[in-house]
Structures are given as structure tokens and as C-alpha cells.
């Protein structure tokens, strides 16, 4: 079922997401770290925005995750590869400086949502989003109603300036919610492209069919 586009992003993803995925059951996805296989655009140049990571492989991880280790950001386990895909910089809750590549965009998106368990949305989107309103009207964090973890993703599209992935969250009782996350390459790093209507496309899904399973459990 598709969730209503009239819901505000901050209410849905920084509070209501947990209540939506907090009941029902889905099997725990398998943990996998196999390398990506599908090529995308040619290698992009290193940016001049201050991040030192080279762009590296331009393979889109559409069928399996890029190699990464699991770290903790806020209350979530999140994939990271500081020397290859990012984040190359960590400053408190802020994980930044990702590679200009499909895998860099994917890890940037997942680390962004993990930071939503460490800071309120006003801080998160002011720092890491493009086009976010100044007054978001909610200080609820992503895990305010219970623990949330990543379960997987689906890579929808990639060009050097932009990437779109659907990130799957699993709530305390196992239900799954896929949230479309658009990222844009700006000022030498990946930033979240805040939806113009305030709400990303979201879908409660029965299982991970059609998605790449990726979790720390």
C-alpha cells in the first residue's frame, strides 16, 4: 500500500515511520557484503569541495551491496567504508565526505537516515539536505517510538549528479517500509534532495522481494 503524499516528511520519517513499521512480521534479511556487478557512467573526477576520496568504481550495486563494515550512528547500525566509499569524515553524529560514485551515494543515504536517530530533523536537514524548509515543525527523531534498523535497498537510478535509492527500514516487530531517497552531488559531497511536496514515495512491503537484502543482523 502506498502512504499518503499529504503527510509531512518529518512526521512520517522522524516519528510516524516507526509506528507504521512497528507491527506485523517479516523474516529477518540475510547479511551480505558481495561486490557490485553492473557498470554505470564512466569514472567521475575528484571534486574540489574538500573531500579527498577518489570517485573509485562507478559500478551500480543493483544486485548486491558494496563491501563495507557496520558501524553505529545514533541508535542504528549503518554500513561504512571510510577509505573507499565513505564517510571519510566523522564529527560527532555527522558522517560526511562520500565518494562520487553509486556506492558512495548509497552509503551517504543510509548514513543520513542513521543520523536521524542522533539529531532532530531541523538539524539533520539544515545540514545535509538541499531545499529543506527552515521550520520543519517537529523534533521527533527517527527512533523516537522504538528501534529501527536497515533491512535493504533498491537502486533505482544513477547519474554523476544524482542518485535515487529506496531504503528499506525494519521496525521493532519486523514490518518493512521502503522509502525513496534522492541524493544530489553538491559542493563535493552527496546531499539529500528534499522532496518538493515534502514527502518521499513510501511503501509498506511484505518482504524484500525486488530489493537487495542488507543488514547487520
Residue 30 is part of which domain span? 9-38+53-213
pLDDT band at residue 13 under the 50/70/90 scheme: low
Residue 2 domain flag? no
Closest to 111 (Cα-Cα) out of 138, 140, 142: 142
Mean pLDDT of 181-202: 93
- Mean residue pLDDT of the chain comes to 81
Q: What are 215's three cell numbers?
A: 543488514
Instruction: Note if the pTM is more than 0.85.
Output: no
What pLDDT, in 10s, does the model give residues 37-75? 334 433 333 344 468 899 999 999 999 999 999 999 999
Q: Residue 200 phi/psi, 5° resolution?
A: -75, 165
Domain membership flag for residue 155: yes
Q: Would 48 be classed as within a structural domain?
A: no
The predicted pLDDT at position 146 comes to: 84
pLDDT digits (tens, 9 = 90+) for 166-177: 999 998 778 899
Report d(CA 134, CA 126) in Å as an integer. 7
Tell me if 199 is assigned to some domain.
yes
Inside any domain, residue 14? yes
Q: Is residue 169 part of a domain?
A: yes
In a domain, 182, yes or no: yes
Q: How many domains does the chain have?
A: 1
- Kindly state whether residue 28 falls inside one of the protein's structural domains: yes
Q: What is the pLDDT of residue 173?
A: 79
Question: pLDDT-derived band of residue 197, with 50, 70 and 90 as boundaries?
Answer: confident
Q: Are 214 and 31 spatial neighbours (Cβ–Cβ below 8 Å)?
A: yes
Average pLDDT over residues 6-22: 45
DSSP letter at 53 equals -
Q: What is the mean pLDDT of residues 1-27?
A: 42
In the chain, % of residues over pLDDT 90:
60
Most confident of 24-28, 129-133, 145-149: 129-133
Amino acid at each position: 500500500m502506498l502512504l499518503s503524499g499529504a503527510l509531512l516528511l518529518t512526521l512520517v520519517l522522524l516519528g510516524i515511520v516507526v509506528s507504521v513499521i512497528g507491527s506485523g512480521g517479516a523474516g529477518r534479511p540475510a547479511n551480505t557484503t558481495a561486490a557490485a556487478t553492473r557498470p554505470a557512467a564512466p569514472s567521475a573526477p575528484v571534486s574540489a569541495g574538500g573531500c579527498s576520496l577518489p570517485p573509485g568504481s562507478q559500478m551500480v550495486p543493483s544486485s548486491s551491496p558494496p563491501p563495507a563494515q557496520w558501524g553505529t550512528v545514533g541508535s542504528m547500525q549503518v554500513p561504512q567504508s571510510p577509505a573507499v566509499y565513505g564517510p571519510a569524515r566523522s564529527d560527532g553524529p555527522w558522517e560526511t565526505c562520500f565518494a562520487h560514485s553509486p556506492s558512495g551515494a548509497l552509503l551517504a543515504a543510509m548514513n543520513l537516515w542513521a543520523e536521524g536517530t542522533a539529531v532532530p530533523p531541523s538539524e539533520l536537514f539544515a545540514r545535509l539536505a538541499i531545499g529543506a524548509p527552515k521550520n520543519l515543525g517537529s523534533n521527533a527523531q527517527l527512533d523516537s517510538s522504538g528501534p529501527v534498523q536497515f533491512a535493504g535497498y533498491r537502486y533505482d537510478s544513477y547519474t554523476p549528479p544524482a542518485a535515487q535509492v529506496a531504503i528499506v527500514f525494519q521496525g521493532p516487530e519486523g514490518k518493512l517500509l521502503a522509502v525513496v531517497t534522492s541524493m544530489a552531488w553538491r559542493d563535493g559531497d552527496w546531499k539529500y534532495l528534499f522532496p518538493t511536496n515534502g514527502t518521499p514515495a513510501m511503501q509498506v512491503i511484505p518482504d524484500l522481494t525486488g530489493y537487495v537484502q542488507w543488514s547487520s543482523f
